Amino acid sequence: MFCYQCQETLNNKGCTKAGVCGKKADVASAQDLLVYTTKLLCDVLNNLRGENYTIDKKYNHMVTYNMFITITNANFDLDMILDQVVKTIEAKDELLAKLNDKSKLRKLSLYSDKDRAKLMALAEIVGVLVTKDEDQRSLKELATYGIKGMSAYMKHANTLNYDDESIDIFIQETLARFIDVEIPIDELYETVLKTGEYGVKAMALLDKANTETYGNPEITKVNIGVSDKPGILISGHDLKDIEMLLEQTEGSGVDVYTHSEMLPAHYYPKFKKYKHFIGNYGNSWWMQKEEFEKFNGPVLFTTNCIVPPKTDYIDRIYTTGAAGFPGCKHIVADENGHKDFTEIIEHAKKCKAPVQIEEGELVGGFAHNQVLALKDKVVDAVKSGAIKRFVVMGGCDGRQKGRSYYTEFAEKLPKDTVILTAGCAKYRYNKLNLGDIAGIPRVLDAGQCNDSYSLAMIALALKDAFGLDDINDLPIVYNIAWYEQKAVIVLLALLSLGVKNIHLGPTLPAFLSDNVVNILVEKFGIAPNSSVDEDLAKFFA
């Protein structure tokens, strides 16, 4: 195996024997195979479009679902991944039969044999290292990981019946092109930039899907304590799943709590009516081993980040959608997208109530609509000098010790700064008592990592409010934490919106070659972070 797609890759070089994340070598190979067979499917889809064939949405959704499965900490289930490889081959073969001119295909039917052992043997020749040139590989993977993140966001939008085929076409054309091993650097660089542009479109689509379906997030106080009833903990990013879970648990005597990236579900008006939607339990994803034991009830993973569960509670872990873990029950949607959570609810009824690990409240819900409603107040605070600077600190959290940097950074920020955040990175500082400025909290949480779109919208609106020509003239600095591939698409999206001088940490991605880093430094002023004091001095010089 070779995998270097996330921030905790071994020695910041690559995982070769097993993943630091807990991914086994065979799972990593099966994921490479799934990415490759998806590229073959994309090649057929593109050629069919060229023959004016109307593509059924289910194939677009299959492409994004497949890429989503391979995201860090989403799916560790070898059988489930290989099943998906076989389904993809079948879909590709079915569509291939409809294609008149097969001469333009990059590869024909490389995997028509669906024997699993033979398929796994082929995995070695389709992995990341097939592209030998380090810079080509770097740009190719940068775009591929951006597409993985984008696919996750598309999948959430698709589940709510929102589609934008232009984004699917970009994804499919790019993946099909990446079947080729050698691709000129200039073309790859253009593809990386385009990935960012489509990333913005995908996040805008998901924002529209979420807000039109569930209402605009509002300022909300979220309880972090517990009730005395048994509960179900729901983790990940899929709002449709939490909607169905809340509906099905209502009146059952079982309460519902959010975990990690599901916290922002509390900010949506549509979910506020549920009395049994108690609050948020625990912290960032990487603390789940300690916290799930204390939760006592079942946990439903709708997406990443799963930490391989301890035997003490593995029987309480359920997965759905792109998430999977061997030995955990996977809940599948029916043909109408409905998921039956009865088994989890019945399981919860036999469990004890959660142990209280914290008490108090968190405040969030500062997505674009809510912040823009406060625009005059914010603009006045900036004009009066009460707010000197905004610091965008969104992105991912991770278990690396050095990430205490972000807590220290938040604590040491001058008191006239406001943190804008989204994603699980917030758990490094959202429980600190940082106070407020003229009634505006010093940590404004827009929501999940995909809601980084909101942060960009807020920046663009402030640019207009201050009559500036360039988004980089705003009093905003960017100190972003990354871990997995959704943060990659967030970063590429910000670059495509013209944001410069982003500090990226806690380490620069291992998949960026020295030359690619140099390009990003030169064109966008990207910089790695250093010590808290040095970075504060740089930002506030």
Nearer to ligand SF4, 22 or 215 (CB): 22
Record the tokens describing residue 517, joined without a space.
Answer: 């880093």
Element (H, E) at 475: none
Neighbour tally for 275: CB within 10 Å: 9
Residue 423: which of ligand SF4, ligand SF3, none does it interact with, CB under 5 to 8 A by kind?
Answer: ligand SF3
Beta strand pairing call for 361-364 and 220-223: antiparallel
Binding ligand SF4 (rule: CB under 6 A), the pick from 16, 20, 106, 525 is 20
The beta strands (E) that lie in 365-438 are given as 389-392, 417-421, 436-437
Tokens matching residue 205 = 């689509």
Q: Which stretch binds ligand SF4 (CB under 6 A): 15-23, 143-151, 194-202, 450-458?
A: 15-23
CA pair distance 340, 237, nearest whole angstrom: 18
Of 39, 94, 87, nearest in space to 67 by CA: 39
CB of 187 to ligand SF4, least distance (A): 26
283 binds ligand SF3 (CB under 6 A): no
Contact call for residue 72 and ligand SF4 (CB under 6 A): yes
Q: Is residue 507 within 8 Å of residue 528, measured between CB atoms?
A: yes
Q: In the complex, which residue's CB is closest to ligand SF4?
A: 19
Say whether 346 counts as a known binding-site residue: no
Q: Which stretch binds ligand SF4 (CB under 6 A): 5-13, 100-108, 139-147, 195-203?
A: 5-13
Amino acid identity, position 29: S
From ligand SF4, ligand SF3, none, which one binds at residue 512 (CB under 5 to 8 Å depending on kind)?
none
Q: Is the CB of 375 or the CB of 399 nearer to ligand SF3?
A: 399
Per-residue binding letters, 98-137, with ligand SF3 (x by CB under 6 A): ----------------------------------------
From 46, 174, 191, 304, residue interacting with ligand SF3 (rule: CB under 6 A): 304
Give the footprint of ligand SF3 on residues 224-263 (CB under 6 A): 237, 260-261
| Position 276 contacts ligand SF4 (CB under 6 A) | no
Question: What is the number of other CB atoms lying within 10 angstroms of the CB of residue 168?
Answer: 24
484 is in an annotated binding site: yes
The residue written with tokens 């990981």 in the block is 145
Partner in contact with 448, chosen from ligand SF3, ligand SF4, none, beta carbon below 5 to 8 Å by kind: ligand SF3
Whether cis (ω within 30° of 0) applies to the bond prior to 184 is no
| Distance (Å, whole) CA 354 – CA 227 | 8
Nearer to ligand SF3, 36 or 325 (CB): 325
- H or E stretch at 443: strand 443-445
Indicate whether 448 belongs to the interface with ligand SF3 (CB under 6 A).
Answer: yes
- In the complex, the smallest distance separating the C-beta of residue 366 from ligand SF3, rounded to whole angstroms, is 17
Nearer to ligand SF3, 393 or 487 (CB): 487
Q: Would the annotation count 351 as a binding residue?
A: no
DSSP 5-21: -STT-GGGT-BSSS-TT
CA distance 266 to 250: 16
Residue whose token pair is 């300690």: 290
Task: Answer yes or no: is 396 a known binding residue.
Answer: yes
370 lies in the binding site for ligand SF3 (CB under 6 A): no
* Amino acid identity for residue 177 in this structure: R
**Considering only residues 173-212, where is the footprint of ligand SF3 by CB under 6 A?**
none
C-alpha separations of 286 from 36, 167, 263, 469 in Å = 29, 32, 15, 41
Does 237 carry a binding-site annotation?
yes
Nearest by Cα to 501 from 521, 487, 481, 473? 521
Number of residues that bind ligand SF4 (CB under 6 A): 13
Q: How many angstroms separate the CA atoms of 523 and 479, rounded?
A: 18
Least distance to ligand SF4, CB of residue 506, Å: 14
- 70 binds ligand SF3, rule: CB under 6 A: no
Report the nearest approach of ligand SF3 to the CB of residue 323 (Å): 11
Using the rule CB under 6 A, is 5 a contact of ligand SF3?
A: no
| Paired tokens of 121 | 């043997």
285 binds ligand SF3 (CB under 6 A): yes
Joined together, the tokens standing for residue 246 give: 């809340």
Q: Which two tokens stand for residue 122?
A: 């082929």
* 321-342 residues labelled b (16+ CB within 10 A) or e (exposed): bbbbbeebbbbeeeeeeebebe
Residue 43 in the binding site for ligand SF4 (CB under 6 A): no
Per CB under 6 A, does 23 bind ligand SF4?
yes
The answer to whether 413 contacts ligand SF4 (rule: CB under 6 A) is: no
CA distance 161 to 239: 13
Minimum CB separation from ligand SF4 for residue 399, in Å?
Answer: 11
Minimum CB distance to ligand SF4 smaller for 20 or for 169: 20
Q: Is 363 exposed, middle or buried (0-12, 13-18, 19+ CB in 10 A)?
A: middle
* Number of C-beta neighbours around residue 218 at 10 A: 17
Q: Rounded to whole angstroms, how far apart are CA atoms 227 and 249?
A: 15
Residue 15 engages ligand SF4 in binding (rule: CB under 6 A): yes
* 486 contacts ligand SF3 (rule: CB under 6 A): yes
- What residues make contact with ligand SF4 under the rule CB under 6 A? 3-6, 8-9, 15, 19-21, 23, 28, 72
| Binding residues for ligand SF3 (CB under 6 A) | 73, 237, 260-261, 285, 304-305, 396, 423-424, 448-449, 483-484, 486-487
- Please state the residue numbers annotated as binding site: 3, 6, 15, 21, 237, 261, 305, 396, 424, 449, 484, 486
Please state the residue numbers annotated as binding site for hybrid [4Fe-2O-2S] cluster. 237, 261, 305, 396, 424, 449, 484, 486
